[in-house]
Amino acid sequence: MSIKHRNAFCFLLLLALLLSAFNSIPVPFRQADDASPPDRVVKLIFIHHSTGENWLADDYGDLGKTLSENNYFVSDTNYGWGPDAIGDRTDIPNWMEWFAGENTSTYMNALFKENEQHASYTRTLTNPGGENEIVMFKSCFPNSALEGNPNDLPDPEGWLSVGHAKFVYNEILKYFAARPEKLFVVITAPPLSDSTYAENARAFNNWLLNDWLKENHYTLNNVVVFDFYNVLTNPKAHHWVNNGQVEHVSASRNTLYYPSGDDHPSVKGSQKATDEFVPLLNVFYHRWKIGQPIAVSTQAAAVVESTQPSQEVQLQTSTLIDDFEQGSPSGTSGWEFYFQDDTDTTLKCAQDSSRANHGANSLKFEFDVAGNSWASCGIYFDSVMNWSGGQGISFYMQSSGAGIPFDVNLFGGTPGARSTYVYHAVASQESTNDWALVQINWDEILRSEWEENPGTQFDPAEVTGFAIGLSTPENSRISGNIWIDDLSTMGDDVLDLPVVSTLEPAVNVTQETDPAPVTAQSPLCNGLGAFSFFIFGLIFWQRRIRQ
Q: Is residue 301 part of a domain?
A: no
Q: Is residue 155 part of a domain?
A: yes
CATH number where 50 lies: 3.40.50.1110
Burial (0-12, 13-18, 19+ Cβ within 10 Å), 364: buried
Q: Is residue 26 part of a domain?
A: no
For 200-252, the DSSP string reads HHHHHHHHHHHTHHHHTT---S-EEEE-HHHHTS-TT-EEEEETTEEEEE--S
Domains in the chain, number: 2
Task: Say whether both 278 and 336 belong to one domain.
Answer: no
Beta strands in 13-157 (DSSP E): 42-47, 72-77, 134-138
- pLDDT confidence of residue 538: 37
Q: What is the C-alpha separation between 158 and 144, in angstroms, rounded?
A: 15
Task: Say whether both 112 and 169 belong to one domain.
Answer: yes
How many CB atoms sit inside 10 A of residue 319's CB?
15
- pLDDT confidence of residue 57: 97
Single residue among 246, 272, 290 that ends a domain in this structure:
290
Q: Is residue 256 part of a domain?
A: yes
- pLDDT confidence of residue 14: 53
Taking the model in full, what pTM does it have?
0.54
Task: Say whether both 269 and 128 belong to one domain.
Answer: yes
Q: State the residue range of the domain holding 401.
A: 321-490
Task: Say whether both 51 and 109 belong to one domain.
Answer: yes
Task: Say whether both 336 and 220 belong to one domain.
Answer: no
Single residue among 238, 271, 290 that ends a domain in this structure:
290
Q: Is residue 540 part of a domain?
A: no
Task: Say whether both 360 and 259 belong to one domain.
Answer: no
Task: Say whether both 354 and 232 belong to one domain.
Answer: no
Task: Say whether both 182 and 130 belong to one domain.
Answer: yes
By the 8 A CB rule, do 298 and 311 touch?
A: yes
CATH number where 405 lies: 2.60.120.430
- pLDDT confidence of residue 424: 92
By the 8 A CB rule, do 55 and 118 touch?
A: no
Q: Is residue 386 part of a domain?
A: yes
Going residue by residue through the chain, which has 547 residues, state the pLDDT in tens, using 9 for 90 and above: 444 455 555 555 555 555 444 444 443 444 568 999 999 999 999 999 999 999 999 999 999 999 999 999 999 999 999 999 999 999 999 999 999 999 999 999 999 999 999 999 999 999 999 999 999 999 999 999 999 999 999 999 999 999 999 999 999 999 999 999 999 999 999 999 999 999 999 999 999 999 999 999 998 999 999 999 999 999 999 999 998 889 999 988 999 999 999 999 999 999 999 999 999 999 999 999 876 444 433 333 333 333 333 333 333 446 889 989 877 888 888 999 999 888 999 999 999 999 998 778 999 999 999 999 999 999 999 999 989 888 899 999 999 998 899 999 999 988 888 899 999 999 988 888 889 989 999 999 999 988 888 999 999 999 999 999 998 887 889 999 999 999 999 864 333 333 333 343 333 322 333 333 333 333 333 333 333 333 333 333 333 333 3
Task: Say whether both 164 and 243 belong to one domain.
Answer: yes
Q: What is the C-alpha separation between 229 and 50, in angstroms, rounded?
A: 15
Query: In degrees rounded to 5, what are phi and psi of residue 449?
Result: -65, -25
Task: Say whether both 122 and 161 belong to one domain.
Answer: yes
Single residue among 290, 310, 343 that ends a domain in this structure:
290
Task: Say whether both 363 and 277 belong to one domain.
Answer: no
Task: Say whether both 286 and 334 belong to one domain.
Answer: no
Q: Is residue 505 part of a domain?
A: no
Q: Is residue 394 part of a domain?
A: yes
